[in-house]
Amino acid sequence: MSDEIKTNPTPAGAEPTAERSHLPMWILVVLLALLYVGGLYFNQHSGWFDKQVYSPYGNAAELELYQPKSGAAAALAAGRKSYESVCGTCHGNDGLGKPGQAPMLAGSEWVIAKGHNRLAHIPLAGLSGPIQVGGKDWNLSMAAMGVALSDTDLANVLTYIRSSWGNKAGEVTADDIKAIRASLGARPQVMTHDMLMALPE
């Protein structure tokens, strides 16, 4: 502990003497508390000396979420946004599906197939009847949720699904969706498992 020099008053003409006294404990406690609070503030607001990070962002990862995107990154960001507003309610924003409501998309054989033709038919035409996903039987109906989306928006959603949650499958383009939409016509018949399997992958 730090010591401070204390001078005692002495009678006139006598040599002054000095003695040591201890630093009060409360001062040390206050200093340690201030250091702790300062460390917490630094950790939350400093951005760890990254010049690109400044208030109100706390770190580089948080800042990255708000950066303008272009090209493939922009398409994925748009796909995620559309997915979460249109598809995430049933399939979950984590792609794991919901029991009794919708099957998982993460790791689904329908999603990670080599081709995207069968997958793209589902949101454009809807799906009815029994189907197996990830080794589990489902017998629910899905409306043609993709009909209201533009070709570009639906392509972005399907590309996002095929490249998220561990899925590693190819991109879907707006031209792909346009061609499938044209082949289905204005009033497409709701797809079944057998109808999907009859399509080229």
Domains of the chain, CATH where assigned = 3-64 (no CATH), 71-198 (1.10.760.10)
Element of type H or E holding 89: helix 88-91
**pTM beyond 0.85, yes or no:** no
Residue 87 burial by CB count (10 A; 0-12/13-18/19+): exposed, middle or buried? buried
How confident is residue 22, by pLDDT bands cut at 50, 70 and 90?
confident
Can you tell me the distance from the alpha carbon of 133 to that of 107, in angstroms, rounded to the nearest whole number?
9
Q: Is the pLDDT of residue 66 over 90?
A: no
Residue 27 has pLDDT above 70, yes or no: yes
Would you state the pLDDT for residue 1?
46
pLDDT tens profile 129-177? 999 998 899 998 999 999 999 999 999 999 999 999 999 999 999 999 9
Distance CA 107, CA 75 (A): 21
> Average pLDDT in the 173-199 region?
92
pLDDT bin (cut points 50, 70, 90) of residue 74 is: confident
**H-helix or E-strand spanning residue 6:** strand 3-7
Q: Measuring CA to CA, how many Å separate 146 from each of 42, 84, 138? A: 46, 13, 20
pLDDT at residue 7, rounded to an integer: 53
Q: How many Å apart are CA 155 and CA 176, to the nearest integer? A: 8
Task: Locate 111 and state its tokens.
Answer: 């999603």
* Closest among 118, 111, 120, 122 to 168, alpha carbons compared: 111
